[in-house]
A = this chain, B = another copy of it.
Protein backbone atom coordinates (compact mmCIF):
# COMPACT_ATOMS: atom_id res chain seq x y z
CA UNK A 1 0.00 0.00 0.00
CA UNK A 2 1.36 3.39 -0.99
CA UNK A 3 0.99 6.75 0.74
CA UNK A 4 -2.40 8.39 0.39
CA UNK A 5 -2.83 10.69 -2.64
CA UNK A 6 -4.97 13.78 -2.65
CA UNK A 7 -6.10 12.85 -6.11
CA UNK A 8 -5.50 10.14 -8.67
CA UNK A 9 -6.20 11.10 -12.26
CA UNK A 10 -6.79 8.29 -14.73
CA UNK A 11 -5.86 9.20 -18.28
CA UNK A 12 -3.36 11.82 -19.46
CA UNK A 13 -5.16 13.37 -22.43
CA UNK A 14 -5.87 17.13 -22.56
CA UNK A 15 -8.34 16.73 -19.68
CA UNK A 16 -6.44 14.39 -17.38
CA UNK A 17 -3.02 15.95 -17.88
CA UNK A 18 -4.43 19.40 -17.19
CA UNK A 19 -6.35 18.27 -14.10
CA UNK A 20 -3.22 16.62 -12.68
CA UNK A 21 -1.11 19.68 -13.43
CA UNK A 22 -3.60 22.10 -11.88
CA UNK A 23 -3.89 20.00 -8.73
CA UNK A 24 -0.11 19.67 -8.59
CA UNK A 25 0.30 23.43 -8.93
CA UNK A 26 -2.01 23.78 -5.91
CA UNK A 27 0.41 21.68 -3.88
CA UNK A 28 -1.69 18.53 -3.90
CA UNK A 29 -0.18 15.06 -3.97
CA UNK A 30 -1.18 13.80 -7.40
CA UNK A 31 -0.83 10.53 -9.25
CA UNK A 32 -1.50 10.51 -13.00
CA UNK A 33 -1.99 7.04 -14.48
CA UNK A 34 -1.74 6.42 -18.23
CA UNK A 35 -2.29 3.03 -19.86
CA UNK A 36 -0.94 4.03 -23.26
CA UNK A 37 1.10 7.05 -24.40
CA UNK A 38 1.22 10.29 -22.40
CA UNK A 39 -0.98 12.96 -23.92
CA UNK A 40 -3.87 10.68 -24.80
CA UNK A 41 -5.74 10.48 -28.07
CA UNK A 42 -5.35 14.16 -28.96
CA UNK A 43 -1.58 14.16 -28.82
CA UNK A 44 -0.89 10.67 -30.07
CA UNK A 45 -3.67 9.67 -32.45
CA UNK A 46 -5.94 12.65 -32.86
CA UNK A 47 -5.57 16.40 -33.22
CA UNK A 48 -1.80 16.57 -33.40
CA UNK A 49 -0.81 13.94 -35.99
CA UNK A 50 -3.82 14.77 -38.17
CA UNK A 51 -2.92 18.46 -38.07
CA UNK A 52 0.61 17.62 -39.14
CA UNK A 53 -0.65 15.58 -42.09
CA UNK A 54 -3.24 18.21 -42.99
CA UNK A 55 -0.60 20.93 -42.90
CA UNK A 56 1.60 18.94 -45.26
CA UNK A 57 -1.31 18.26 -47.59
CA UNK A 58 -2.21 21.96 -47.61
CA UNK A 59 1.39 22.80 -48.53
CA UNK A 60 1.21 20.24 -51.31
CA UNK A 61 -1.94 21.90 -52.68
CA UNK A 62 -0.39 25.33 -52.34
CA UNK A 63 2.61 24.22 -54.34
CA UNK A 64 0.24 23.03 -57.04
CA UNK A 65 -1.85 26.20 -56.81
CA UNK A 66 1.14 28.51 -56.40
CA UNK A 67 1.72 28.94 -60.13
CA UNK A 68 -0.43 32.04 -60.30
CA UNK A 69 1.78 33.64 -57.62
CA UNK A 70 4.96 32.95 -59.55
CA UNK A 71 5.90 29.65 -57.92
CA UNK A 72 7.48 27.29 -60.38
CA UNK A 73 7.75 23.78 -58.98
CA UNK A 74 8.15 20.95 -61.42
CA UNK A 75 7.48 17.31 -60.58
CA UNK A 76 5.92 18.05 -57.24
CA UNK A 77 4.85 14.98 -55.34
CA UNK A 78 4.02 13.84 -51.85
CA UNK A 79 5.99 11.34 -49.81
CA UNK A 80 3.66 9.68 -47.30
CA UNK A 81 6.48 8.10 -45.27
CA UNK A 82 8.14 11.48 -44.75
CA UNK A 83 4.80 13.04 -43.82
CA UNK A 84 4.17 10.33 -41.24
CA UNK A 85 7.66 10.82 -39.83
CA UNK A 86 6.95 14.55 -39.39
CA UNK A 87 3.75 13.70 -37.55
CA UNK A 88 5.55 11.15 -35.36
CA UNK A 89 8.27 13.67 -34.53
CA UNK A 90 5.90 16.35 -33.35
CA UNK A 91 3.86 13.80 -31.40
CA UNK A 92 7.05 12.73 -29.59
CA UNK A 93 7.95 16.35 -28.83
CA UNK A 94 4.53 17.11 -27.41
CA UNK A 95 4.50 13.88 -25.42
CA UNK A 96 7.80 14.93 -23.85
CA UNK A 97 6.21 18.32 -23.23
CA UNK A 98 3.37 16.72 -21.26
CA UNK A 99 5.90 14.73 -19.19
CA UNK A 100 7.88 17.89 -18.44
CA UNK A 101 4.82 19.90 -17.48
CA UNK A 102 3.65 17.20 -15.06
CA UNK A 103 7.11 16.96 -13.56
CA UNK A 104 7.25 20.73 -13.10
CA UNK A 105 3.90 20.57 -11.31
CA UNK A 106 5.27 17.74 -9.07
CA UNK A 107 2.78 15.23 -10.45
CA UNK A 108 3.78 11.57 -10.20
CA UNK A 109 3.21 9.88 -13.53
CA UNK A 110 2.65 6.14 -13.65
CA UNK A 111 2.51 4.01 -16.79
CA UNK A 112 0.05 1.15 -16.61
CA UNK A 113 -3.57 0.15 -16.79
CA UNK A 114 -5.57 1.58 -13.93
CA UNK A 115 -8.27 -0.57 -12.41
CA UNK A 116 -10.51 1.18 -9.92
CA UNK A 117 -11.19 -1.16 -7.00
CA UNK A 118 -13.49 1.44 -5.48
CA UNK A 119 -13.64 5.24 -5.37
CA UNK A 120 -10.46 5.50 -3.31
CA UNK A 121 -8.34 2.54 -4.43
CA UNK A 122 -6.73 2.17 -7.80
CA UNK A 123 -4.82 -0.94 -8.83
CA UNK A 124 -1.96 -0.47 -11.29
CA UNK A 125 0.60 -3.13 -12.25
CA UNK A 126 0.28 -5.12 -9.05
CA UNK A 127 0.10 -2.20 -6.63
CA UNK A 128 -2.88 -0.58 -4.94
CA UNK A 129 -2.82 3.21 -4.71
CA UNK A 130 -5.05 4.96 -2.22
CA UNK A 131 -6.55 8.38 -2.84
CA UNK A 132 -8.93 10.91 -1.34
CA UNK A 133 -10.34 11.90 -4.68
CA UNK A 134 -10.51 10.43 -8.14
CA UNK A 135 -10.70 12.14 -11.50
CA UNK A 136 -11.64 9.91 -14.40
CA UNK A 137 -10.33 11.08 -17.77
CA UNK A 138 -10.28 7.83 -19.66
CA UNK A 139 -11.29 9.40 -22.95
CA UNK A 140 -12.92 7.53 -25.79
CA UNK A 141 -12.22 4.93 -28.41
CA UNK A 142 -13.23 4.80 -32.06
CA UNK A 143 -16.67 3.33 -32.32
CA UNK A 144 -16.81 0.53 -34.86
CA UNK A 145 -20.34 0.03 -36.16
CA UNK A 146 -21.80 -3.47 -36.60
CA UNK A 147 -21.60 -3.46 -40.38
CA UNK A 148 -20.83 -6.75 -42.14
CA UNK A 149 -17.22 -6.75 -43.20
CA UNK A 150 -15.79 -4.11 -40.88
CA UNK A 151 -13.83 -6.57 -38.77
CA UNK A 152 -12.22 -8.92 -41.23
CA UNK A 153 -11.52 -6.46 -44.00
CA UNK A 154 -8.06 -5.34 -44.87
CA UNK A 155 -8.37 -1.86 -46.21
CA UNK A 156 -11.00 -1.02 -43.60
CA UNK A 157 -10.07 0.94 -40.52
CA UNK A 158 -10.55 3.83 -38.13
CA UNK A 159 -8.59 7.07 -37.95
CA UNK A 160 -5.93 5.15 -36.01
CA UNK A 161 -5.39 2.99 -39.09
CA UNK A 162 -5.53 5.97 -41.44
CA UNK A 163 -2.56 7.41 -39.58
CA UNK A 164 -0.56 4.24 -40.27
CA UNK A 165 -1.26 3.74 -43.98
CA UNK A 166 1.85 2.73 -45.88
CA UNK A 167 0.67 3.78 -49.28
CA UNK A 168 -1.79 6.39 -50.33
CA UNK A 169 -5.07 4.76 -51.41
CA UNK A 170 -6.40 5.76 -54.83
CA UNK A 171 -10.03 5.48 -53.79
CA UNK A 172 -11.20 6.24 -50.30
CA UNK A 173 -14.71 5.83 -48.93
CA UNK A 174 -15.35 7.54 -45.61
CA UNK A 175 -18.27 6.39 -43.51
CA UNK A 176 -19.33 9.34 -41.40
CA UNK A 177 -19.35 13.08 -42.12
CA UNK A 178 -18.44 14.40 -38.69
CA UNK A 179 -15.24 16.29 -37.89
CA UNK A 180 -12.95 13.26 -38.24
CA UNK A 181 -14.60 12.17 -41.49
CA UNK A 182 -14.42 15.64 -43.01
CA UNK A 183 -10.82 16.29 -42.00
CA UNK A 184 -9.73 13.02 -43.58
CA UNK A 185 -11.90 13.67 -46.64
CA UNK A 186 -10.10 16.96 -47.12
CA UNK A 187 -6.72 15.35 -46.45
CA UNK A 188 -7.07 12.53 -48.94
CA UNK A 189 -8.68 14.80 -51.51
CA UNK A 190 -5.83 17.32 -51.29
CA UNK A 191 -3.51 14.43 -52.10
CA UNK A 192 -5.48 13.67 -55.27
CA UNK A 193 -7.24 10.56 -53.93
CA UNK A 194 -10.85 10.02 -55.05
CA UNK A 195 -13.01 10.47 -51.96
CA UNK A 196 -16.64 9.57 -51.22
CA UNK A 197 -18.29 10.38 -47.90
CA UNK A 198 -21.34 8.36 -46.84
CA UNK A 199 -23.30 10.02 -44.05
CA UNK A 200 -26.43 8.71 -42.35
CA UNK A 201 -27.75 12.16 -41.42
CA UNK A 202 -29.14 14.61 -43.96
CA UNK A 203 -26.13 16.94 -43.51
CA UNK A 204 -22.44 16.75 -42.56
CA UNK A 205 -20.94 18.36 -39.45
CA UNK A 206 -23.98 18.57 -37.15
CA UNK A 207 -22.51 21.32 -34.91
CA UNK A 208 -22.15 23.53 -37.95
CA UNK A 209 -24.85 25.86 -39.18
CA UNK A 210 -26.65 24.30 -42.15
CA UNK A 211 -25.74 27.13 -44.53
CA UNK A 212 -22.06 26.73 -43.72
CA UNK A 213 -22.21 22.95 -43.97
CA UNK A 214 -23.75 23.18 -47.44
CA UNK A 215 -21.01 25.57 -48.57
CA UNK A 216 -18.43 23.29 -46.99
CA UNK A 217 -19.57 20.35 -49.09
CA UNK A 218 -19.27 22.48 -52.20
CA UNK A 219 -15.83 23.74 -51.16
CA UNK A 220 -14.57 20.20 -50.65
CA UNK A 221 -15.23 19.26 -54.29
CA UNK A 222 -14.24 16.91 -55.90
CA UNK A 223 -15.21 14.98 -52.75
CA UNK A 224 -18.59 13.31 -53.36
CA UNK A 225 -21.14 13.28 -50.55
CA UNK A 226 -23.88 10.73 -50.09
CA UNK A 227 -26.23 12.10 -47.43
CA UNK A 228 -29.01 10.29 -45.60
CA UNK A 229 -27.49 6.95 -46.60
CA UNK A 230 -27.25 3.76 -44.56
CA UNK A 231 -24.20 1.57 -45.03
CA UNK A 232 -25.18 -2.09 -45.46
CA UNK A 233 -21.79 -3.77 -45.79
CA UNK A 234 -18.15 -3.13 -46.52
CA UNK A 235 -17.33 -6.63 -47.69
CA UNK A 236 -16.79 -5.92 -51.39
CA UNK A 237 -16.54 -2.18 -51.57
CA UNK A 238 -19.06 -0.11 -49.66
CA UNK A 239 -22.70 -0.99 -50.20
CA UNK A 240 -25.20 1.57 -48.97
CA UNK A 241 -28.90 2.38 -49.24
CA UNK A 242 -29.93 5.81 -50.46
CA UNK A 243 -32.87 7.75 -48.99
CA UNK A 244 -35.01 6.65 -51.97
CA UNK A 245 -34.37 3.00 -51.13
CA UNK A 246 -31.99 2.25 -54.01
CA UNK A 247 -28.69 0.61 -53.25
CA UNK A 248 -25.28 1.72 -54.46
CA UNK A 249 -21.87 0.14 -54.22
CA UNK A 250 -18.56 2.01 -54.22
CA UNK A 251 -15.14 0.51 -54.74
CA UNK A 252 -12.47 1.52 -52.27
CA UNK A 253 -8.81 0.87 -51.53
CA UNK A 254 -9.42 2.15 -48.05
CA UNK A 255 -12.64 2.48 -46.09
CA UNK A 256 -12.39 4.89 -43.18
CA UNK A 257 -14.81 4.28 -40.34
CA UNK A 258 -15.42 7.73 -38.95
CA UNK A 259 -18.63 6.85 -37.19
CA UNK A 260 -17.82 8.55 -33.95
CA UNK A 261 -16.13 7.69 -30.69
CA UNK A 262 -17.59 6.08 -27.59
CA UNK A 263 -16.56 6.59 -23.96
CA UNK A 264 -13.78 4.38 -22.67
CA UNK A 265 -14.88 2.61 -19.49
CA UNK A 266 -11.88 0.28 -19.22
CA UNK A 267 -10.87 -0.18 -15.60
CA UNK A 268 -14.04 1.40 -14.27
CA UNK A 269 -16.01 -1.86 -14.03
CA UNK A 270 -16.02 -1.98 -10.22
CA UNK A 271 -17.39 1.53 -9.85
CA UNK A 272 -21.15 1.87 -9.86
CA UNK A 273 -21.05 5.03 -11.95
CA UNK A 274 -24.31 6.31 -13.38
CA UNK A 275 -24.07 6.40 -17.15
CA UNK A 276 -26.34 7.38 -19.99
CA UNK A 277 -26.04 6.88 -23.74
CA UNK A 278 -23.49 9.71 -23.96
CA UNK A 279 -21.17 8.58 -21.17
CA UNK A 280 -20.59 8.93 -17.45
CA UNK A 281 -23.27 11.22 -16.03
CA UNK A 282 -21.82 14.33 -14.39
CA UNK A 283 -23.26 17.50 -12.87
CA UNK A 284 -22.16 21.04 -13.63
CA UNK A 285 -19.05 20.58 -11.51
CA UNK A 286 -18.10 17.36 -13.31
CA UNK A 287 -19.06 15.29 -10.24
CA UNK A 288 -20.23 11.76 -10.98
CA UNK A 289 -22.88 9.83 -9.06
CA UNK A 290 -20.14 8.68 -6.65
CA UNK A 291 -18.88 11.16 -4.03
CA UNK A 292 -15.29 12.34 -4.60
CA UNK A 293 -15.25 11.00 -8.14
CA UNK A 294 -15.23 13.38 -11.09
CA UNK A 295 -15.32 12.53 -14.80
CA UNK A 296 -13.99 14.91 -17.46
CA UNK A 297 -13.40 14.87 -21.19
CA UNK A 298 -14.69 12.39 -23.77
CA UNK A 299 -15.64 9.79 -21.13
CA UNK A 300 -18.56 11.91 -19.91
CA UNK A 301 -19.77 12.52 -23.45
CA UNK A 302 -20.47 16.22 -22.97
CA UNK A 303 -18.13 17.41 -25.71
CA UNK A 304 -15.46 15.47 -27.59
CA UNK A 305 -13.01 18.33 -27.95
CA UNK A 306 -9.55 18.63 -26.45
CA UNK A 307 -10.17 22.16 -25.20
CA UNK A 308 -13.52 21.11 -23.71
CA UNK A 309 -11.67 18.42 -21.78
CA UNK A 310 -9.14 20.97 -20.54
CA UNK A 311 -11.96 23.31 -19.52
CA UNK A 312 -13.73 20.48 -17.69
CA UNK A 313 -10.42 19.79 -15.91
CA UNK A 314 -10.39 23.38 -14.63
CA UNK A 315 -13.95 22.95 -13.36
CA UNK A 316 -13.33 19.56 -11.70
CA UNK A 317 -10.13 20.66 -9.94
CA UNK A 318 -11.80 23.87 -8.79
CA UNK A 319 -14.65 21.80 -7.40
CA UNK A 320 -12.32 19.27 -5.75
CA UNK A 321 -9.82 21.70 -4.25
CA UNK A 322 -11.05 25.25 -4.86
CA UNK A 323 -14.14 27.40 -4.84
CA UNK A 324 -16.45 25.06 -6.70
CA UNK A 325 -17.79 28.06 -8.55
CA UNK A 326 -16.25 27.39 -11.96
CA UNK A 327 -18.60 26.09 -14.62
CA UNK A 328 -18.22 25.34 -18.29
CA UNK A 329 -20.08 27.88 -20.40
CA UNK A 330 -20.98 25.40 -23.13
CA UNK A 331 -22.26 28.11 -25.44
CA UNK A 332 -18.80 29.69 -25.47
CA UNK A 333 -16.84 26.59 -26.45
CA UNK A 334 -15.54 27.03 -30.00
CA UNK A 335 -14.89 24.22 -32.45
CA UNK A 336 -12.65 23.98 -35.52
CA UNK A 337 -12.52 21.72 -38.54
CA UNK A 338 -8.97 21.82 -39.92
CA UNK A 339 -9.99 20.95 -43.45
CA UNK A 340 -9.11 23.03 -46.49
CA UNK A 341 -10.87 25.44 -46.28
CA UNK A 342 -11.08 25.53 -42.52
CA UNK A 343 -14.33 25.90 -40.64
CA UNK A 344 -14.88 27.09 -37.10
CA UNK A 345 -17.68 28.33 -34.96
CA UNK A 346 -19.03 29.04 -31.54
CA UNK A 347 -22.50 29.23 -30.06
CA UNK A 348 -25.83 28.31 -31.54
CA UNK A 349 -26.68 27.54 -35.14
CA UNK A 350 -29.67 29.33 -36.64
CA UNK A 351 -31.70 26.13 -36.33
CA UNK A 352 -30.71 25.61 -32.69
CA UNK A 353 -31.54 29.21 -31.79
CA UNK A 354 -34.95 28.93 -33.44
CA UNK A 355 -35.61 25.57 -31.80
CA UNK A 356 -34.84 27.21 -28.45
CA UNK A 357 -37.72 29.58 -29.13
CA UNK A 358 -35.49 32.62 -29.42
CA UNK A 359 -36.31 35.53 -31.67
CA UNK A 360 -33.45 35.27 -34.10
CA UNK A 361 -31.74 37.64 -36.52
CA UNK A 362 -29.23 36.35 -39.03
CA UNK A 363 -26.77 37.72 -41.56
CA UNK A 364 -23.99 36.22 -43.59
CA UNK A 365 -21.19 37.60 -45.74
CA UNK A 366 -18.92 35.76 -48.17
CA UNK A 367 -15.28 35.38 -47.14
CA UNK A 368 -14.13 36.79 -50.47
CA UNK A 369 -15.51 40.13 -49.36
CA UNK A 370 -12.19 40.38 -47.53
CA UNK A 371 -9.31 41.80 -49.54
CA UNK A 372 -6.94 39.29 -48.02
CA UNK A 373 -9.06 36.31 -49.01
CA UNK A 374 -9.23 37.73 -52.51
CA UNK A 375 -5.45 38.22 -52.58
CA UNK A 376 -4.61 34.75 -51.35
CA UNK A 377 -7.48 32.60 -52.59
CA UNK A 378 -8.83 34.45 -55.57
CA UNK A 379 -12.25 35.58 -56.79
CA UNK A 380 -13.85 32.19 -56.38
CA UNK A 381 -12.58 31.63 -52.86
CA UNK A 382 -15.12 29.64 -50.87
CA UNK A 383 -16.10 30.63 -47.39
CA UNK A 384 -18.50 32.75 -45.41
CA UNK A 385 -19.28 34.23 -42.03
CA UNK A 386 -22.71 33.79 -40.53
CA UNK A 387 -23.74 35.60 -37.39
CA UNK A 388 -26.84 35.00 -35.29
CA UNK A 389 -28.16 37.39 -32.65
CA UNK A 390 -31.28 37.91 -30.55
CA UNK A 391 -33.62 40.93 -30.36
CA UNK A 392 -31.21 42.84 -28.16
CA UNK A 393 -28.38 42.22 -30.57
CA UNK A 394 -26.63 39.76 -28.23
CA UNK A 395 -24.55 37.38 -30.29
CA UNK A 396 -25.85 33.83 -30.07
CA UNK A 397 -23.60 32.16 -32.59
CA UNK A 398 -20.89 32.78 -35.16
CA UNK A 399 -20.11 30.28 -37.89
CA UNK A 400 -17.07 30.67 -40.11
CA UNK A 401 -15.55 29.02 -43.12
CA UNK A 402 -12.47 30.22 -44.97
CA UNK A 403 -8.76 30.82 -44.55
CA UNK A 404 -7.41 31.27 -40.99
CA UNK A 405 -10.83 30.96 -39.31
CA UNK A 406 -9.28 28.55 -36.78
CA UNK A 407 -7.28 31.47 -35.42
CA UNK A 408 -10.09 34.04 -35.66
CA UNK A 409 -12.69 32.11 -33.70
CA UNK A 410 -11.27 32.70 -30.20
CA UNK A 411 -12.51 36.28 -30.37
CA UNK A 412 -16.01 34.99 -31.15
CA UNK A 413 -15.82 32.65 -28.16
CA UNK A 414 -14.78 35.58 -25.96
CA UNK A 415 -17.63 37.72 -27.32
CA UNK A 416 -20.22 35.01 -26.69
CA UNK A 417 -18.86 34.29 -23.20
CA UNK A 418 -19.14 37.98 -22.33
CA UNK A 419 -22.64 38.39 -23.85
CA UNK A 420 -21.32 40.91 -26.33
CA UNK A 421 -23.59 42.46 -28.95
CA UNK A 422 -23.43 42.98 -32.67
CA UNK A 423 -22.68 46.60 -31.89
CA UNK A 424 -19.57 45.60 -29.94
CA UNK A 425 -18.26 43.89 -33.05
CA UNK A 426 -19.14 46.93 -35.13
CA UNK A 427 -17.16 49.19 -32.80
CA UNK A 428 -14.10 46.96 -32.96
CA UNK A 429 -11.31 48.05 -35.30
CA UNK A 430 -10.19 45.16 -37.49
CA UNK A 431 -6.78 45.16 -39.19
CA UNK A 432 -6.74 45.64 -42.94
CA UNK A 433 -6.26 43.57 -44.99
CA UNK A 434 -7.39 40.59 -42.94
CA UNK A 435 -9.94 37.85 -43.28
CA UNK A 436 -11.29 38.84 -39.86
CA UNK A 437 -12.70 42.06 -41.37
CA UNK A 438 -15.57 39.96 -42.68
CA UNK A 439 -16.84 39.69 -39.09
CA UNK A 440 -17.34 43.43 -38.99
CA UNK A 441 -19.00 43.45 -42.37
CA UNK A 442 -21.35 40.71 -41.20
CA UNK A 443 -22.12 42.64 -38.00
CA UNK A 444 -22.91 45.69 -40.13
CA UNK A 445 -25.31 43.72 -42.29
CA UNK A 446 -26.91 42.19 -39.22
CA UNK A 447 -27.42 45.56 -37.53
CA UNK A 448 -28.95 47.00 -40.70
CA UNK A 449 -31.31 44.09 -41.16
CA UNK A 450 -32.41 43.89 -37.58
A interface: dominant SS:
helix
Q: Which residues of B sit under 8 angstroms from A48, Cβ to Cβ? A: 371, 375, 433
Q: Which residues of B sit under 8 angstroms from A43, Cβ to Cβ? A: 371
- Is A125 on the interface with B (CB-CB < 8 A)? no
Q: Which residues of B sit under 8 angstroms from A329, Cβ to Cβ? A: 429
- Is A124 on the interface with B (CB-CB < 8 A)? no
- Is A116 on the interface with B (CB-CB < 8 A)? no
Docked complex Cα distance between A333 and B78 (Å): 42
Contact B334 A429 (CB under 8 A): yes
Docked complex Cα distance between A73 and B60 (Å): 9
- Is A167 on the interface with B (CB-CB < 8 A)? no
Q: Which residues of B sit under 8 angstroms from A80, Cβ to Cβ? A: 70
Q: Which residues of B sit under 8 angstroms from A417, Cβ to Cβ? A: 427-429
Contact A307 B69 (CB under 8 A): no
The interface-forming segment of A27-35, A222-230, A404-412 is A404-412
Docked complex Cα distance between A379 and B332 (Å): 31
- Is A335 on the interface with B (CB-CB < 8 A)? yes
Interface string of A204-231 (1 = CB under 8 A from B): 0000000000000000000000000000
Q: Which residues of B sit under 8 angstroms from A82, Cβ to Cβ? A: 67-70
Name A70's contact: one of B14, B83, B344, B406 (CB within 8 Å).
Answer: B83
- Is A424 on the interface with B (CB-CB < 8 A)? yes
- Is A266 on the interface with B (CB-CB < 8 A)? no
Name A432's contact: one of B307, B344, B420, B427 (CB within 8 Å).
Answer: B307
Supply 19 further A-B pairs (C-beta < 8 A) apart from A51-B375, A90-B374.
Answer: A42-B432, A43-B371, A47-B371, A47-B433, A51-B376, A55-B375, A56-B66, A59-B63, A60-B71, A62-B63, A67-B82, A69-B83, A70-B81, A72-B75, A94-B374, A306-B433, A410-B430, A414-B424, A417-B427
Could you list some 16 contacts between A and B, CB below 8 A?
Answer: A59-B62, A59-B71, A62-B62, A62-B63, A63-B76, A70-B80, A71-B76, A75-B75, A90-B374, A334-B431, A404-B406, A410-B411, A410-B439, A413-B430, A414-B415, A417-B428
Q: Which 10 A-B pairs have the closest CB atoms?
A: A411-B411, A56-B69, A70-B83, A73-B73, A70-B82, A404-B407, A306-B432, A307-B432, A73-B76, A70-B79
